[in-house]
Amino acid sequence: MNRHRQPAPRGFTLLEVMTVVAIVGVLASVAIPEFSRLMVRSKTAERSYVLQHVRRMVYDQFIQNGSLPPFLAGAWNPAPPETTFKRTFDFTQPGWKTIFPGGAEIEGTLYYSYLFQVIEVASPPLLLLMARGDVDGDGAPSDKIIWLQRIEGVYQTLLELPVAGAEDGTTF
């Protein structure tokens, strides 16, 4: 009598499953904070790019015309965020359409809201650039403020908060 035994079904032991879950947990605890930091850094890169672009466009307007036309002060573009969602830049707002006459210089949607104000009556003339956004989703806005002054036709940084290269997350 020759009986063929079928092999017993194989599976994972409880110890093997617990080991895999522990390894995945350790990897996730390292990867998730790093991913969050990477997302904040990419959003602050947007802020730096747009602020430099606005500064360059205001300077170009000054070079082309010898002076700057009067701008409406304090127009946030887009409107300050209620959420961390991206919003569309509105090139038709007064002041903004003057320095961005083409209406497509900043492509895509933005995490930050931007404000600029030229103060020609000051001596020397001043340029205020601001960016505000809740990039880390904690409900507190992350601001960037740059004051520039025009000396001999060139806008030079007078004050920058937080300082260039400092960690983001400072609120004012």
Within a domain: residue 172? no
Which amino acid, residue 33? P
Put simply, whether the predicted model's pTM sits higher than 0.75 gets the answer no
Cα→Cα distances 28→69, 131, 161, 171, Å: 54, 32, 34, 29
User: What φ, ψ does residue 168 adopt, rounded to 5°?
Assistant: -75, 170
The total number of structural domains that make up the chain? 1
Q: Is 28 left (phi over 0), alpha (psi -120 to 50) or beta?
A: alpha
Structural domain boundaries enclosing 79: 14-161
- Rounded to 5 degrees, what angle do the CA atoms 38, 39, 42 make? 85
- Whether residue 58 is contained in a domain is answered as yes
pLDDT < 70 regions, the chain: 1-3, 8, 69-74, 81-84, 104, 164-172
The pLDDT score that the predictor gives to residue 122 is 72
Q: What pLDDT score does 71 carry?
A: 61
**pLDDT number for residue 72:** 52
Does the residue 167 lie in any domain? no
Residues pairing with 144 in the sheet: 131
